Structure 1
Amino acid sequence: MIGADDQQIFTRTFTPMDAGERTPILLFHDSLGCVALWRDFPNHLAQATGRTVIAYDRPGFGRSERRHDVLAPDFIAEEARTVVPALCEALEVSRFIACGHSVGGGMAVQTAARWPECIEVLITIAAQAFVEDRTLSGIREAKAAFAEPGALGRLERHHGVRARWVLDAWTETWLAPEFSCWTLDEALALVRAPTLAIHGSEDEFGSPRHPERIASGTGGQALLLPGTGHTPHRECPDLLVEKIAAFLTRLDAE
């Protein structure tokens, strides 16, 4: 647990024996996520890339300090503006690879746009670049499912008393009318880091238009994983790690 942005933030670091001076990878989790829900992915990624991987619970999530406020419409950019620099200062990290899943991918994009001197590589996994009908439909279905008796207990296992806040922060923010025009377009235009946008072909929260938009906006590469949904790090972790490691290896060789 570290103090960052006047809040207590839970972090966990995964360091392979051969990490050396390689730039670390910072993971940004999704709307219902936390460090624990990455499961074995951070350690697997660290071992495959030979880089330290840092995962953290965003304020209000997992084991970090509770929040009671309503997320502002610009909460994705706000993470990059305030939490990330405070976190990096506390961890003494000056340069890193930004890697985010789902909304965490949007936060990674915003971070790369706002702090280009700090970002060596940008990697998004199942990230949304705009508000799509498929995204809203998936959120409505999830909201209905969590309304079933006992369903919230799945979140409580990882978020405890924060579970209701975590769920509402996702569903009520994305479904709010004022969020309907949100996009990453302005941020994408400012990204200078080599970019890999990974997406599952069967992602229930976003079509392949999202990685295409991220790649075209950054001059990066879009990669579609066949037969994969919204959580590649759980559905095909070996393949996902292989693709990320190969991308970083190619960059190192250039």
Structure 2
Amino acid sequence: MDTKELYLEIPQGQIYVKRWIVNQKNSLKNAPIILFHESLGSVELWRDFPAQLALATQRDVIAYDRIGFGKSSVQVHSLELNFIEQEVQDTFSFLFDALGIKKIVAMGHSVGGGMAAVCAALYPFNCVALITESAQAMVEDVTLEGIRKAKVNFKNEKFFNRLAKYHADKTQWVLDAWTETWLNPAFAAWCLDRYLAQVCCPVLSIHGEQDEYATLAQPQRFVELVQGPAELCIIPECQHFPHQEKPEQVLQVIKQFLANIKN
């Protein structure tokens, strides 16, 4: 397997992009999987999952660091409350055009799952499938409680420094972008309903049964509100990171799901 790294110039700065290429033939034949990372995530924090996903599905996998995260440019402003929709409308539109891709599979973890859903809604003729993992479609009390606990935990230098390995001098901004945005009272009414209602492609919603940041109402909302065929996969004895906690099961269910996608 080959990998390719590049930096893409967009109006907000540079974004770091990495592509896992199974082989050139499949790169031209099958729609690649675009990964959207979670609130504290980055390309590197996906670890070896993208490579495993590429091998399992025989599709290229592309991941990128959002502005302010990982190896991408520093973000000097606080996140807007519509940052999930804004990510697709702003950053992703440039990425899509720059890579010259016609068809994609959108996949996201946690808040990235919401971004992937917006992507499927706004690119209905390009997005052949949507995969969400531990994704939120609305704000729940359990989500806010989990964030409050994490905010306290990250005051511990050990946890902060562990995250700083991936975000360097952007680490405090990354933490604040997560905690202060979600805990903002004005964000409480946020939901993805109007975007989910526009999703027409096949959908797979993966969720850990013991997810500490969301109830099962979240994945159920994804499968109930979309217009296309939808599958729900609840993974027992699993929390917020199924692709790390139960990688073989996650890869298998994605492989089976995408086997029915022609593009």
Instruction: Give the alignment's TM-score, normalised by structure 1.
Output: 0.97
Paired residue secondary structure (2:97): helix
How far 1:200 moved relative to its partner?
0.4
How far 1:6 moved relative to its partner?
4.5
Q: Which runs of 5 or more structure 2 residues have no equivalent in the other structure?
A: 1-6
How far 1:119 moved relative to its partner?
0.5
Deviation digits for residues 142-198 of structure 1, max 9, x if unmatched?
001001234310111000000000000000000000000000101000111111111
Deviation digits for residues 68-126 of structure 1, max 9, x if unmatched?
10101100000111111101111111220000000000000111111111111000000
Which has the larger displacement, 232-241 or 144-153? 144-153
Q: Which runs of 5 or more structure 1 residues have no equivalent in the other structure?
A: none
**RMSD of aligned C-alpha atoms?**
1.3
- 8 A contact 2:128–2:261 mirrored in 1: no
- 8 A contact 1:35–1:55 mirrored in 2: yes
Aligned residue pairs total: 253
Name the counterpart of 2:181. Answer: 173
Paired residue secondary structure (1:251): coil
- 8 A contact 1:5–1:87 mirrored in 2: no
Which has the larger displacement, 162-171 or 4-13? 4-13
Q: Does 1:144 align with 2:152?
A: yes
Instruction: Give the alignment's TM-score, normalised by structure 2.
Output: 0.93
**Equivalent of 2:95 in 75, 87, 90:** 87
**Equivalent of 1:216 in 224, 235, 246:** 224
Q: Does 1:12 align with 2:18?
A: yes
**Equivalent of 2:8 in 2, 12, 15:** 2
* Counterpart mapping for 1:154-165 below 5 A: 154-165=162-173
Going from structure 1 to structure 2, the CA distance change for 1:6 and 1:73 (only over 3 Å counts) comes to: closer
Paired residue secondary structure (2:175): helix
CA distance in 2: counterparts of 1:84 and 1:185, whole angstroms = 21
Deviation digits for residues 6-30 of structure 1, max 9, x if unmatched?
4211011001125241111000000
Name the counterpart of 1:242. Answer: 252
Going from structure 1 to structure 2, the CA distance change for 1:63 and 1:105 (only over 3 Å counts) comes to: same
* Counterpart mapping for 1:21-40 below 5 A: 21-40=29-48
Name the counterpart of 1:135. Answer: 143
In percent, how many aligned pairs have the same letter? 43
Name the counterpart of 1:102. Answer: 110
| Matching residue's letter, 1:117 | F
